[in-house]
Chain A
Amino acid sequence: MTRDEFKDKILTILTEDFEFEQPGLDDNLRDDHGFDSIDAIELLGKIELLLGFSFTREEKEKAMEIRTISDILDYVEGIQHSRNS
């Protein structure tokens, strides 16, 4: 899945499941959309289903540093890259 394809899917999830209104790639997830640690865990589960594999404990802990949608895309790209290499 390309970065753009993944971005569209994430934006759909954030809009439909998490009820974000007009999400921007560089919005602060917590401050602009009330996204909290519970949401983060839920979103990770949804990303796992999209990617078709489950994250390791270390990968999940790394996800807690995410602040923006762009961070999510970087995070997923990084994991895909490290798993492919």
Chain B
Amino acid sequence: MKRRVVITGCSAITPIGYGKNDIIDSLRQGKSGVGFLRDDGLLSKHIHSRVFGTVDYPIDYGFKRQYRKTMGPVAYYACQVAKDVLESSGLSQEFITSGRLGVAFGSTHGSPTVQREIYKTFFSDLESKFSSIGAVDYLRSMVHTTAVNISRMFGITGRIIASSTACTTSSQSIGFGYETIKYGMQDAMICGGADEYDTTTVAVFDNLLACSVKYNQTPQCTPRPFDAGRDGLVVGEGGGAVLLEEYESAKKRGADILGEVIGFACNNNGGDLILPNLDGITATLRLALKDAEILAKDVDFVSAHATATKMGDVIEAQAIDAVYGGDPLNRPLVTGLKSYMGHTMGTCGVIETILTLYMMEQSFIAPTLNLENVDERCSMLRHTRELTETETKIAAIQNFAFGGVNTCLLVKNGRDAEL
């Protein structure tokens, strides 16, 4: 059994805004969500990179204590976007709790904020006769905290998939959710990811000399995907969720079809856990096309992973060129959406998918910010250099992670789902 899978809801909390209107406005106006690294009272003063893709606006969550007690900051992002998606979906409470709806949701670490509190308590309190690590600290910090807090809050009783593969976390969530519905194991899935403000991640990339440091005084000028002056990635925070549904049942209930997931691929480089791998990435892009049963020329837009690291962008450009570069008249536009908000880690795949859905619906492609002088090693691509009003029928969303994990999602414009 192979069933069609459509996207019928989405919501994102991002450094460039929360909700469709804010995000589209930022994309159209070329507004960056990168700001200054916030003081965390621990690591921040030791980190060379002073920039961060920051969610610096208030969000009115309104969660009751019975839910809050098992939630760290990462679960707030996750439950909020899941709530938005479910509320706008029109799905009945009976369906939501039927076991036919599942959750595929993840984060890079669970909640580092809560983990940090646990360690602080542990090391400062070793001699105490009281057990001062709270009973719920594990539930708030564990790696599958986002997925199960969503299922708890909404009474969802279907499958739980909790990917935690760093930068491919939420693209895996969408991909695995798509496969789960496609092969008949669930009828709908809430898919996505979230990552909270976390300087540990910044410190790791900083130590690897992979973080941007040259633009500490002008955060909006970094990251600079594919630009000759790029000097590394910028870590960010946020959350995003999409609702995937089996096509026939979505159509029958009159759901608003935002897009269709037509293909997904995930593989591993089978070797080095850090360095990007041309063969591995190229294979992923080709596997996705094969899964979707389409040709490279059918893809109009590529949302590149494009973290703005020195080698990552070059390898990705070579892979895109190898797969899509054959016909000069049919090359897809390529944008590095991280240029707007930095690298939101576990949530980047779903955020970039949602931004792509918005751009498809509004018939435009946003340019890569800060792309002033294209690195000649990346110049073979058809970069989006300015806001481009154009129809996109099929888009590829590419993400690659530490651990050698690569993913590619292929998404069709919702307007064409009937075709």
Query: Residue B130 contacts which of A18, A34, A39, A54 (CB distance < 8 angstroms)?
Result: A54
Question: Assuming A38-B70, A38-B139, A45-B135, is B129 touching A19 (CB within 8 A)?
Answer: no
The answer to whether the Cβ of B273 comes within 8 Å of any Cβ in the partner chain is no
The answer to whether the Cβ of B116 comes within 8 Å of any Cβ in the partner chain is no
Proximity bits, B54-78, A CB within 8 Å = 1, else 0:
0000000000111001100000000
The answer to whether the Cβ of B21 comes within 8 Å of any Cβ in the partner chain is no
Bound Cα distance A54, B128 (Å):
10
The answer to whether the Cβ of A42 comes within 8 Å of any Cβ in the partner chain is yes
Query: Residue B69 contacts which of A39, A45, A49 (CB distance < 8 angstroms)?
Result: A39
Query: Residue A38 contacts which of B69, B129, B132 (CB distance < 8 angstroms)?
Result: B69
CB distance from A76 to the nearest CB of B (A): 16
Question: Assuming A38-B136, A38-B139, A42-B136, is B131 touching A54 (CB within 8 A)?
Answer: yes
Question: Assuming A38-B139, A42-B136, is B130 touching A19 (CB within 8 A)?
Answer: no
Query: Residue A49 contacts which of B65, B66, B130, B135 (CB distance < 8 angstroms)?
Result: B130
The B-contacting residues of A in range 38-84, CB under 8 angstroms, are 38-39, 41-42, 45, 48-49, 53-54
From B128, which residue of chain A is reached at the shortest CB distance? Answer: A54
Bound Cα distance A6, B262 (Å):
63
Indicate if the CB atoms of A41 and B130 lie closer than 8 Å.
Answer: no
Proximity bits, B109-148, A CB within 8 Å = 1, else 0:
0000000000000000000011110111001000000000
CB distance from A53 to the nearest CB of B (A): 7
Secondary structure call for the B interface: loop
**In the assembled complex, which residues on chain A have CB atoms less than 8 Å from the CB atom of B136?**
38, 42
Indicate if the CB atoms of B65 and A45 lie closer than 8 Å.
Answer: no
Indicate if the CB atoms of A45 and B139 lie closer than 8 Å.
Answer: no
From B129, which residue of chain A is reached at the shortest CB distance? Answer: A54
Number of A-B contacts (CB under 8 A): 28
From B132, which residue of chain A is reached at the shortest CB distance? Answer: A45
Indicate if the CB atoms of A53 and B129 lie closer than 8 Å.
Answer: yes
**In the assembled complex, which residues on chain A have CB atoms less than 8 Å from the CB atom of B66?**
34, 36
Question: Assuming A18-B65, A19-B65, is B131 touching A38 (CB within 8 A)?
Answer: no
Indicate if the CB atoms of A38 and B135 lie closer than 8 Å.
Answer: yes
Bound Cα distance A48, B131 (Å):
9
**In the assembled complex, which residues on chain B have CB atoms less than 8 Å from the CB atom of A36?**
66
Indicate if the CB atoms of A45 and B70 lie closer than 8 Å.
Answer: no
CB distance from B1 to the nearest CB of A (A): 40
Indicate if the CB atoms of A45 and B134 lie closer than 8 Å.
Answer: yes
Indicate if the CB atoms of B134 and A42 lie closer than 8 Å.
Answer: yes
Instruction: Kindly list the 8 A-B residue pairs having the minimum CB-CB distance in the complex, ordered from nearest.
Output: A41-B135, A19-B65, A34-B66, A54-B129, A38-B136, A54-B130, A42-B135, A48-B130
Q: Which B residues contact A (CB, under 8 angstroms)?
A: 64-66, 69-70, 129-132, 134-136, 139
Give 16 A-B contacts (CB < 8 Å), ordered by A residue. A19-B65, A38-B70, A38-B135, A38-B136, A39-B69, A42-B69, A42-B134, A42-B136, A45-B134, A45-B135, A48-B130, A48-B131, A49-B130, A53-B129, A54-B130, A54-B131
Q: Which A residues contact B (CB, under 8 angstroms)?
A: 18-19, 34, 36, 38-39, 41-42, 45, 48-49, 53-54
Starting from the known contacts A34-B66, A42-B134, A53-B129, 4 additional A-B residue pairs (CB-CB under 8 Å) come to A38-B69, A41-B135, A45-B132, A48-B130
